[in-house]
Every structure is written in structure tokens, then in C-alpha cells.
Chains A and B, each alone.
Chain A
Amino acid sequence: MRDFFTLSVIVATVASGIRLATPYLLAGLGETVGQKSGVLNLGVDGVMQLSAFFAYWTMLERGSLILATLVGIGVGLVMGAIYAFVTVVLQAQQGISGIGIFLFGLGFSDLMFRRQVGSPRPVPQLPEYGIPFLADIPNVGDALFQHNLLTYFAFAAVPVLALMLRSTTFGMNVRAVGENPQAADSLGVSVGWTRAFAILIGNTFAGLAGAALVLELGIFQPNLTAGLGFIAVALVYFGAWRPVGIMSGALLYGLVAASVLQMKALQIIPRSASDIAAMAPAILTILALIVLAGRVSAPAALTRPFSR
């Protein structure tokens, strides 16, 4: 048994936690934008599975990480367009149609994998880039500034989205149609288009999350996400619809999971308690929310279709 609180272990744990947090963060940010506009998307997990498969397939066939990432984004856009049509134009019940999208993504990605690939074959993974200068800082550099580009992108998106939601016209429209679509409509904001764009952004992030997951792993397998998308939805509530909050939640979840793994590898956590320890991220997320919870309420028009 060795000590967990040594520098090298902590550096490794933080780096691992950031890797684990990346897909949660991307998917959670996207879900936040959608929910801010009043649209709940329970299909995130399915979109991630689809984009993960198609990004992986692109890697197998073309071997280009850029193309694979673009395909992941493209799948997100297509699914976003479908979901926008279903929820905005057809005004379908959001929870149920999201579950439909989830089922479709789960089944279709599995089917395509079996038809087009068969057995899992490895593809090149996303390379890690050290950020100049910052990566050279002892320990901190290895933990924080030695990651792949999609991880950097995910964290860079946090302030960008926060700013967009707070200070741009589009962001204000998004919040308005999520809180009070009738009022927004009377002020001349197109509720339908605003929501559709928010859904597109949300699904694009979900697509990117799927691509980030599969390209980090370098391999695909049916049900690759194993429920990751649902946890991402939960983290939106943890983060109280604020990008910084989502980031905190994703990091908390990822870092706790990474710490548990490191402690298991160090045999600090005995093998007989492996299942109990695996509960830690979920329990700590709830406990953290109990301590931190302020009275933040959901966007008032969440899940409510709008028609004049």
C-alpha cells in the first residue's frame, strides 16, 4: 500500500479526472443551452452514441482525426435538426421524444457497427498537445496543460458560452424564450427559431462529446457511452444552468472517479469494497449539491411547447 497524497499520484489523478470530465462537460454545456431555451433533451446519450460511431467509422475508413471530428459535429447537427423539427415544429412531448432519440441512437449505432465494422478494431487516438510555456510548469503542466485539443476546446467553451448566454442578443433571446416565451414573442423574438438554434448548438456539443469520447479511446463498442449522456443531463441541474456550474460538476464527477481508480490501483481501497467505492462520484455529487444548493429554479418554460 502506498500513499495517495504524493505529488506524482495527484498529478496523474488530476490529468485522469480532466480526461474523464471532458465528455460530461461537452454534453452538459450543450444541454444547458437547449434547456435555457426551454427545451429538455433526454436524447443526449443517443446522439453521443451515433456521433461516436460515425466518427470512429470515419477514422477507420479515412484515418483523419479532423474529418472524424467534423463528422461527429455533423451527426450532432443532423440529430439537432431532427429534434428541433420534432419539438418545435411538431411540438412533441419533449421527455418522451428525447427517449425515442436515445433508443434510436443506441440501436442504430450498434446496428451500423455490426454491419460495417464487426469486431472492434483500434484507430489512432487524439494526440496530446502541451500548451507552450504552461506545459513546462512542473507538475501543474502535466496535470492541466497536457491534453488533447477537444479537451482544451471543452474548457475554452465554458467562458464563451457563459458570455454568449449573458451578453449577446442571441443569448438574451435564448433566456427569454426559456423563461417567458409569450413575452418574448410579443417583443418580436421568434420563439421557434431561437429554440431551434439553441437545440442545434446543444446537439452539436453532444456530437462533439461523442467524438471526443471515441477519439480519446481509439476504439468503438456498442453502448460505448454506458449512460454517460444521462449523467451529463443530471450535471446540468448540478450546475444550475450556468456553464461554470456545469464545469464544476463535470470536474467533481471526473476527479472523484479518477481518485477512486487511483486509490484502487494503490490498493488503498481494498478489492472487496470496489463496488462501494464506485458509488463515490454519484454520492459526492449529491452531497456537494446539498451543501451548495441555492434556490435556483429551472427555466420557467422548460419542456413547455410554445404556440401562439
Chain B
Amino acid sequence: MKRLVGASIPLMAAFVAFLFGAIMLLAIGANPWEGLQALVSGAFGSGDRIAATAIKATPLILVGAGITIAFRASVVNIGGEGQIIAGALASTAVGLSFDTLPALLFVPLLLLSGVIGGAIVGAIPGALKAYASVNEILSTIMLNIVMVQLMNYLLRGPLIDPLEVEAGTRIPQTERLPDAAALPVIIPGTRMHLGFPIAVLAAIGAYYLLWRTPLGFRLRAVGHSPNAARAAGIDVKRNITYALGISGSLGGLAGAILVYGSEGQRMVTDGSAAGFTGSAGFNGIVAALFGGLHPLWTIPSSFLFGGLLTGATNMQRALQVPAPIAVAINGIVVVFVVSSGKVRTRLDRFMDARSELNES
């Protein structure tokens, strides 16, 4: 009985959240039932759709795993957007410089350059925090702004496709990158590419790093108590820099995967960060928190959140409802689900008390 009640609370929270969504859909003259169907089938309705959801989840897993590492060392990383862009720019620059490498060499090289790009942009706020007492929330938010402008500058300037200049259209995008650089599709007939398993492996790697290596032990020690860590001879400042650097490297990897796993296989900007990242730098935070800041739980959590995102796109198309309604509903779902924990513990206590009463 208690378990049943416990399990039903989040369901009820979700139900109420979707009731809000349904009212909003009704208010604009759409059928809420069809909306729900479109949402679910859009996310998980077919092999193709599941593949699309997995691809959407890929950067969330990576950013989420990175958030987890930073969090365990007691630092916050809101710089996912900038780190994704850094990784994408680095891997794009490398990809444009070679055109004859075999895929077996090319793909790892590009992913590695993405990792390095993200690591650098992640390590900067880490070092600033460790050695100059600059709060990392401030520096990561500011670095996001810097990286967007750097992306715009590079894509409309030095890295622009020469054809765009020639034709006078000046679209801020690079040349199409070599085919050998593309992430191979692993399930024929869908768009599922190597990026998803790489992300899953990276999340497992993050778990392994945190709990099975000396570095992970030091990071967690720093996160647990900097003073105790210092007393134990751990270089706290260096490890804070490492934590944000590693966190950023996972974002950078996500950026490289976004470029080389995309249909267009090139980087293009609409002038905003979200236009390239799809806000993965922020959504990854939500996914990590949903997953209880555990790298492994981040995987299914990202997959579900990715489903919410792909499903919403489908709902818009199927029902012809404006896209922002999906954003608003997502917000409500996040608030309600995250709020339901306390209600559950209250009810648990109530049930406990009642069963004691019944027994006596």
C-alpha cells in the first residue's frame, strides 16, 4: 500500500502537469489527447523516432556527465553552451585542415580535438576559481557569451565556406566536411550514429573515473571537504581546475558529435548559442539533476528528456500548435516532477503513522 502511494505521487504530479498542458492546448483549440499521442509517438513511436530521441539525448548525456563530475568536486558548471561550441569549433577547424585521412584515424582525431577544445574552455573558469577566486557561475555564464561571439566571428570570417563569399550569399557556415569524417551510422535505416554509444561510454567512464581512480578520489575529496583534502596533501586548486576541465571536455566532445553527426555535416550559426547547441548545455544540467547527479543515471534521464524534446517537435507539427506551448509544458513538467519528492515523504510518514495506529 505504502509503495503504491509512493509510486503514485510522481504519477499524480506528472498528471497534474499534463493537465495544465491539456488546459493550455484546449485554450488554443487543440485536442489534448491527440497532443499527448503526438508527443509520445514522436519520441518513441518507431525505430526512427527512438533513434532521433537517442541522438537528441547524446549531448545531454555528455553535458550531464560533465556536470556530475564538476558537482562531485563541489563546483558548478553553467558553461556547457560555451564548451559545446568550443569543441565544435576546434573539431571543425581540424576537420577543415585535412581532407585525405582514413575514417579510422580521422574520426578519433576529430573527437579528440573536440575534447581538447572543450577542456580548455572548461579549465579557464576552473583556474580562475582556484587561483583568482572568480566565482565559476559568473565566469561560465560570461564565457558562454564570449564563445557565441567567437563562433559568429569565425563562421562569418576565417572559417566561412569560400562558395558563400563567391556567391555573395555570405551564409555563416563552413564548407561541408569530408565524408570520411562523418560519424558512421550504426543501425542501418535510421540516423543512429556512433555518437550515442560514445556518449554512453563516456558517462560510464565518468562513473569509473569518479569512483575507481585516484584522480576521482581526489576530486570527490575536494568536493567533500576542501580543508580535509588539503590536510591530506591534495592540491585543491589544481583539482578544481581539473574538475571543470574534465567537465568541459565532455561538453566539447558533445560539440564535435553535433557537427559530425548532423545531417548537414558542417557548422552553421544563426547568431545564437541555442541555434547550434539546441540549448543542450542547459538541458544537460536538468538531465543531470533528474539523474540525481550520478553519471549512470544521467543516461536514462537524458534519454527521457530527449524524448520530451523530440516529442514536442512532433506535437507542434501534428497539431499545428505554436512551438512555445511545448516549451511552457516542459517547464511545468520539470517544476512539478521536481516538487513531488516532499509530498511523497509527507505521505510516507502519514502512511507509517497510520499503519502504526492500525497495529496498536
Which A residues fall within an 8 A CB radius of B?
46, 86, 89-93, 95-97, 99-111, 114-115, 222, 227, 230-231, 233-235, 237-238, 272, 275-276, 278-279, 281-283, 285-286, 289-290, 293-295, 298
Contacts and interface: CB of A to CB of B under 8 A. Distances in A.
Given A107-B324, A107-B329, A101 B141 contact: no
A96 B289 contact: yes
Contacts of A111: 24, 28, 322, 324-325, 328
A108 B150 contact: no
Given A90-B342, A107-B329, A237-B137, 15 more contacts: A90-B341, A101-B331, A104-B328, A104-B335, A107-B330, A111-B24, A111-B28, A234-B138, A272-B157, A279-B146, A283-B146, A286-B134, A286-B138, A286-B143, A289-B135
Contacts, number: 145
B334 A290 contact: no
A92 B133 contact: no
Contacts of A237: 135, 137-138
A293 B134 contact: yes
B285 interface: yes
A180 B258 CA distance: 44
B347 interface: no
Nearest to A95: B289
Contacts of B340: 90
Contact of A107 (B137, B149, B156, B327): B327
Contact of A282 (B142, B156, B330): B142
Contact of B338 (A97, A294, A298): A97
A97 B290 CA distance: 11
A28 to B, nearest CB: 11
A275 B335 contact: no
A235 B139 CA distance: 10
B343 interface: yes
Chain A interface, >50% SS class: helix
B331 A100 contact: yes
For this complex, into which size category does the number of interface residues on chain B fall? Answer: 35 or more
Contacts of A290: 128, 132, 134
A277 to B, nearest CB: 9
A90 B330 contact: no
Interface in B248-287: 282, 285-286
Interface in B324-358: 324-335, 338-343
Contacts of A233: 137, 141
Contacts of B208: none
B334 A96 contact: yes
Contacts of B150: 275, 279
A285 B138 contact: yes
B152 interface: yes
Contact of B339 (A97, A107, A227, A285): A97
Given A283-B146, A285-B142, A290-B134, A275 B331 contact: no
B98 interface: no
A90 B327 CA distance: 23
A66 to B, nearest CB: 29
A293 B286 contact: no
Given A93-B289, A111-B324, A276-B153, A295 B133 contact: yes
Contacts of A289: 132, 134-135, 138-139
Given A237-B137, A286-B134, A103 B153 contact: no
Contacts of B180: none
A279 B146 CA distance: 5
B51 interface: no
Contact of A86 (B132, B286, B335): B335
B19 to A, nearest CB: 15
Contacts of A235: 138
Given A115-B28, A286-B128, A96 B338 contact: yes
B145 interface: yes
Interface in B53-78: 78
Nearest to A86: B339
